A and B are shown apart, each in its own frame.
Chain A
Amino acid sequence: MAKLTIDELKKLKEQYKDKTHLREGGSTAKVTVHMGTCGLAAGSREIMDALLDEIQKANASEVMVTTSGCAGLCSREPMVTVEMLDESPVKYVDLTDEKIRKIFKEHIRGGKVVEEYALVRGCETSY
C-alpha cells in the first residue's frame, strides 16, 4: 500500500465518509418502499434496486431508505412513500423502474411532487 500524504488522507476520508454516513443521522429525505407480500409480488424489489442505484449515482447522502409492510392498497403496488423534511408524506403507486427514477430526480432531489404518479398526500388518521 502506498504511503499517504496529508491530501491523500483527506481524500480517503471523503471516500469512506460516504460509506459510514448512515450512522451519523442528518437525513433530510426518507423514502419508504412498501415491501409486504403484495409489494414483493408486484415487483418492489426492482423499485428498491432502481432507487438505490439512483441514490448512488447521485451520491445523495441526505436520502434515507427504509422498507415497510403493505400500505393497504395492494392493487396499486409497488408503492413508495416519500417524506421530505417539514413536508407531509406523499404516496406513489403503480411504480416501475422508470417511474421511481423520475420521482427520485424530480421530487426527492428537485423538491417537486410528480403529480401524475402520486396517489395522495398525508397519512391516515390514527390514534
Chain B
Amino acid sequence: MDKVRSNVMLCGGTGCIATGSLKVKDALVTELKKHKLYDQITVTLTGCNGFCAQGPLVTVFPEGIFYEKLTADDIPFLVEEHFLKGRPVEKFMYKAPEDKSAVPAISEIPFFKHQVLRALRNKGIIDPEKIEEYIARDGYMAAAKALTEMKPEDVVKEMKESGLRGRGGAGFPTGLKWELCAMSKGDLKYILCNGDEGDPGAFMDRSIMEADPHVVLEGMIIAAKAIGASKGYIYVRAEYPLAVERLQKAIDQAKDYGLLGENILNTGFNLDIELYLGAGAFVCGEETALMRSLEGKRGMPIPRPPFPAQKGLWGKPTVLNNVETYANIPPIILNGGEWYKSLGTEKSTGTKVFALTGAVNNIGLIEVPMGIPLRTIIYDIGGGIRKGRKFKAVQLGGPSGGCVPEHLLDTPVTYEDIVQTGAIVGSGGMVVMDDYNCMVSVARFFLDFTTEESCGKCPPCRIGTKVMRDKLADITEGRGQEGDVELLQDLAKDIINTSLCGLGQTAPNPILTTIKYFKDEYESHIHDKWCKAGVCTDLATFYIDEEACKGCTVCAKNCPQECIAGEKKKPHIIDQEKCVKCRTCYEKCKFNAVKVGPANMFDKKDEEVQV
C-alpha cells in the first residue's frame, strides 16, 4: 500500500542543513519506521523555507503545523506524540516573540501571513530533486504553452504587459529586453541566467536554485522561445554547492524527459542548457563582466553600447536575466500579464523577494507585493526590533544601496519610491539596524566591500573607492578633519558620473545616504571625537551613570577584563586604564546605566592632544 496520510516537509536549505536538518531527517525516518508509520507518512527534504533563523524547520501537512528548531533528540517524542497518537507537540511549535504562546498553523504566523508567494511558490512544498513534484505543481506547463500556442512576439507581448522588471538589481523591464534581442539578427543567440548572487546578506537566488531549480530552467525555455536562442548557460557561483548540485540534477532530469535538448516536447524547438561555475567575484554579477567570464576571459565589464541584446556573449545577441526574474516567468505565461500586474503598483508590478536580516526578531527570506510599506515589513513580518531597542535605519540594496531612516518608514517599496530616498531596491537585501549601530561604520563596511571587489579596470572606481574608504577609516579612527564630509560628497559625485559599470556608479550610495540622514553622526565623529553608538572604539569612553546604576553586578560579572568594581546595590565604576571597550557592559546593562562618552572625556586638562 502506498497511500500516505501525511507529508512531512523538512527544510533542506543551506541554512537548515547547517543547523542539523539532515540529522533530524535520519531520526525522523528511523522513528517512523520503528512505529511502523513510514509507509503512511512521507518525509521530504525541501529547499529553503525562508524562516532561516528558526531552523531546522518542519511543516506537517495536511494540518499545516509548523515546528521549529528541532534537534534529532526531539524526534522520538515528536513522532510518538504527533504521528502515532495525533497530539501536535506545542513545545516545538513556533512562538510569537510578543506573547510566547504557541501558534500552530503556518497561515497564522505573522512572518508568513503577510507574504504572497509567486517566485517562491514551491519553496518547502516540493522535493527539489524530483522533477515529477515540480510537474505536479503545473511545472513545464507554461513552457508547453509558449512552445505550442504562442509566437515569439506573443511571449514578448505578455511579458511587457506584466510589467515585470529585472529582479537582479537594475530593474530593467524584462519584456523590453527580450524584444530588443528578438529584433537583433543572428544565426546563434544565447539565453543566460545570472546566479552570481553577491550582495552581502542577499540569498534569494540561492534559495530559488536550491528549492525550485526547475523553475529557472522553465523560465529560460520561455525566454529562449521569445528571443530565438538555442543555447543557454546558468552562471552560478561555486560557493553555492547545493544550488549547483540541484541545478545539475534538474538539467539531467529535464533532458531525460525531453524538456531540454533537441525537439523539446516534440515541438521542434531546441535548447541546451549548461552550468558554468563562477569563482565568486562580485563584479561578475554585472552583465558584461559575466559574459567575459563565461568566454573564459578575466571578468571585467566593457562599455555599453553595444548592448548584449545586440552583441553579447561571443559577440552574439544575448539576454541575461536574474534567477528570481526567471522564477516569475512561468506563472505569467500561464495566468497572463494582466494577472501578474494585479499586485503591486503601476510601475512596480508583482511581488519581490527580500532577505530580511539584522536587528529584527524574524530573520529570513520573504516575498511581498510591491508597494508594501517598509514599516509593515519590519514591524509585522519582521516582528519589530530585537530586545525592545529603537529602530535606527534600514539598509536596502546592499553595497549599491543606501540607508533609509525612521521618518521614511512609510515609504512604499517600489523601484521609484525607494530611489527617491537615495537607496535602491537592488537585489533585495534588507538589513535592519537599531540604535546600537554607528552609521559611519556601516558606510565604511560597504566601502571596504566595494573597494575589495572593484575589478580595477576604470580609475574612478579603482582609486575613488579606495580614497573614500580611507577617508571613512580616518573619520572612524579619530583622524577626521573639517571638510571631510564635503570632500566625500564631491568625490562621490565624480565617481558616480565617471565609473564604467554599476559597481562604481553605485558604490558611493551608502556614504551619500548616511550623510544625508545621519550627518550629525559624521559631525560628532569629526568634531567631538565621539561615536555615540560606541562602535568606533577609538572615539568612545564607556562609563557608568551613578544615578542610573542599581548595583545589580551584571556588568562586573560579564566584563572579560574584570575591570568593573563595585558592591551590590551600589553604583559600579569602570577602570578606564584596563577597559578594552568591548561593549559587553553596554549591551548587558538592563538599566541603561552604561553610557558612551567622547574619547577624551577623562583626559586631564593639561594634557594636550597631539595631532
Measured CB to CB, the residues of A under 8 A from B are 1-6, 9-10, 12-13, 15-17, 19-20, 22-23, 25, 27, 32-36, 45, 48-49, 52-53, 55-56, 64-69
Contacts and interface: CB of A to CB of B under 8 A. Distances in A.
Given A13-B141, A16-B133, A4 B259 contact: yes
B518 interface: no
A6 B144 contact: yes
Interface string B550-591: 000000000000000000000000000000000000000000
A17 B36 contact: no
Contact of A9 (B7, B126, B140): B140
A1 B84 CA distance: 38
B58 interface: no
Contacts, number: 104
A56 B3 contact: yes
B5 A66 contact: yes
B148 A6 contact: yes
B372 to A, nearest CB: 24
B495 interface: no
B125 interface: yes
A67 B86 contact: yes
Interface string B75-87: 0000000011111
A35 B84 CA distance: 7
B137 interface: yes
B609 interface: no
17 contacts: A1-B257, A3-B266, A6-B148, A6-B265, A9-B140, A9-B259, A13-B136, A13-B139, A15-B132, A19-B4, A22-B61, A22-B62, A25-B64, A35-B86, A52-B1, A52-B5, A65-B5
Contacts of A2: 258
B144 A9 contact: yes
A52 B84 CA distance: 15
B2 interface: yes
Contacts of B108: none
Contacts of B9: 23
B47 to A, nearest CB: 14
B419 interface: no
A13 B6 contact: no
Contacts of B85: 35-36, 67-69
Given A12-B135, A52-B3, A27 B256 contact: no
Contacts of A55: 3
Contacts of A36: 85
Interface string B262-274: 0101110000000
A66 B3 CA distance: 13
Contacts of B86: 32-35, 66-69
B40 interface: yes
A56 B137 CA distance: 20
